[in-house]
């Protein structure tokens, strides 16, 4: 699974777009005998509205993590 390891942000006020320049690494690369995958860098264009929605959802996720609340789709096996 790709993990975001670095990013940079640029934007255009005229068009109200945010550009996310992202670098990724393979989270499984440190597992012995697991085939490593190279993930290309990506630049993603978001409208202002999409950027605001993403910011809101990321903030909510971090708040839940801080509160110790797991996402409903995460299941742990005993």
Report how far residue 21's alpha carbon sits from residue 12's, in angstroms, rounded to the nearest whole number.
14
36, 28, 32, 25: which is closest to 3 by C-alpha? 25
Q: What is the pLDDT of residues 1-22, one digit of tens each?
A: 899 999 999 999 999 999 999 9
- Whether 41 contacts 61, CB under 8 Å: no
pLDDT higher than 80, residue 77 = no
Query: Does residue 27 or residue 78 have the better pLDDT?
Result: 27
Separation of alpha carbons 42 and 9, rounded Å = 12
Give pTM, 2 decimals: 0.78
pLDDT at 78: 60
Query: How, if at all, do strands 42-47 and 17-26 pair?
Result: antiparallel
- DSSP β-ladder status, 2-12 and 17-26: antiparallel
**pLDDT > 80? residue 64:** yes
- Tell me the three state secondary structure of residue 20: strand
Residue 76 pLDDT: 66
Percent of the chain scoring above 70 in pLDDT: 96
């Amino acid at each position: 699974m790709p993990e975001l390891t670095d990013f940079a942000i640029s934007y255009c006020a005229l068009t109200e777009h945010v550009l996310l320049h992202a670098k990724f690494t393979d989270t499984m690369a440190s597992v012995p005998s697991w085939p490593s995958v190279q993930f290309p860098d990506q630049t993603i264009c978001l409208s202002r509205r999409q950027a605001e929605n993403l910011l809101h959802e990321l903030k909510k996720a971090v708040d839940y993590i801080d509160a110790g609340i797991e996402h409903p789709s995460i299941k742990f096996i005993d």
